[in-house]
Amino acid sequence: MGLFDKIFKKEAEKPKEDLPKIKPKNLKDETMNKFIKDAKMPVLVDCWADWCVPCKQLAPSIAELAAEYNGKIYVTKLNTEKNRKMSQKYSIKSIPTILYFKNGKLVTRTVGALPKKSVKKVIEDKLLK
């Protein structure tokens, strides 16, 4: 078992809080720009694909973040295989990539299946300050 697997195993073993089940909103090429521009809160966009194993490992954390930050940020998903225009516009070269928007502008991005606590740190430092 590698370090990557150990990190995700530890997070999977942690007890889950009783949070409401909130699914991240799915964005598309046709809706993403308007959604981000009109958003009243910061937006996190998880860029993923069906075949991507690290994306699948990250998905439960993204769902938990959607519940934890409900009412503070929008947590969304963008399937890069089905939405090539936005993937190209934001230069998505590796997945998973998470894009972080504030006031309609891209403020930062992370690449790779980061542990949930790392994503939370970026949210707190870049989106909620």
Report how far apart the first and last C-alpha atoms of the chain are (Å, whole number): 37
Strand partners, 92: none
What pLDDT is attached to residue 16? 52
- Whether the Cβ atoms of residue 79 and residue 49 lie closer than 8 Å to each other: yes
- The pLDDT tens digits of the residues spanning 1-37 come to 455 455 455 544 454 555 557 889 999 999 999 999 9
As annotated, the active-site residues are 52, 55
Phi then psi for residue 56, to 5 deg, are: -65, -35
pLDDT above 70 (res 106): yes
Rounded to whole angstroms, how far apart are CA atoms 69 and 100? 14
22-127 maps to which CATH number? 3.40.30.10
- The pLDDT tens digits of the residues spanning 53-79 come to 999 999 999 999 999 999 999 999 999
Rounded to whole angstroms, how far apart are CA atoms 59 and 72? 19
What pLDDT is attached to residue 15? 45
